[in-house]
A and B are shown apart, each in its own frame.
Chain A
């Protein structure tokens, strides 16, 4: 039973355009959401997070949107850069600091 799903295994975007990565969850107890970025042969690195009391959080080129009623969140990267090419994981927890449940990841390829 996958509680966190990333339905697009891969996404290809032109440099300078917007990248939108999507994530859906089923557990209504989740109230804290994170995005991690992973390069080959490295561990995941934290990118941005959002708590359920917000519907948007921005950090530079990265914005995460949360739609609690739809149990959906998305990560927007604007503008996309070739260095953004990586696997992006969505993760959720029922309480900040508790175990993270990860989605299967989306491989983003930003073409020059």
Chain B
């Protein structure tokens, strides 16, 4: 079974630039999450999708961050404009809501450095 795919693996941009990350979840997983992990901290949820609908985006900085999952499969997370404090690893995860106790499977992440 293929895992969660993310690209790019690494990205370096200047502050005020824009950046986009892509995620392809495990086939058949209805739930998709984007997490931000700042160095030395645990992952923090940015947004959760159920199919193509948003379940929770309460911690997404909506003035600069946006995410979409138009066809209920792949997802894109965008930052515009980026700030220095956005430097982090952005993790995508998916889970199968058909399971009684589903665990989230994570991709390798995209390491973003804002200079």
Nearest-Cβ distance from residue B5 to partner chain A, whole angstroms:
11
- Chain B residue contacts of A63, Cβ below 8 A: none
Q: Is A44's beta carbon under 8 Å from chain B?
A: yes
Q: Is the CB of B106 within 8 A of A43?
A: yes
Partner of B43 from A6, A98, A102 at Cβ < 8 Å = A102
A34 to B33 alpha-carbon distance, docked (Å): 16
Q: Among the listed B31, B42, B93, B101, which residue makes an inter-chain contact with A104, where contact means beta carbons less than 8 Å apart? A: B42
Residues of A whose CB lies within 8 Å of any CB of B are 4, 6, 32, 34, 36, 41-46, 49, 51, 89, 91, 96-105
CB neighbours of B105 from chain A (8 A): 46
Q: Can you list 25 residue pairs at the A/B interface with Cβ under 8 Å?
A: A4-B42, A32-B101, A34-B103, A36-B106, A42-B108, A42-B109, A43-B4, A43-B93, A43-B108, A44-B43, A46-B103, A46-B104, A46-B105, A49-B103, A89-B42, A96-B101, A97-B97, A97-B99, A97-B102, A99-B33, A99-B55, A100-B33, A100-B104, A101-B45, A103-B42
Smallest CB-CB A-B distances: 8 pairs: A102-B42, A43-B106, A46-B103, A96-B101, A99-B45, A44-B106, A104-B42, A102-B43
Cα of A4 to Cα of B104 in the assembled complex, Å: 17
CB neighbours (8 Å) of A51 from chain B are 101
Q: Which residues of B contact A (CB under 8 A)?
A: 4, 31, 33, 35, 40-45, 48, 55-56, 91, 93, 95, 97, 99-109
* CB <8 Å contact, B100 and A96: yes
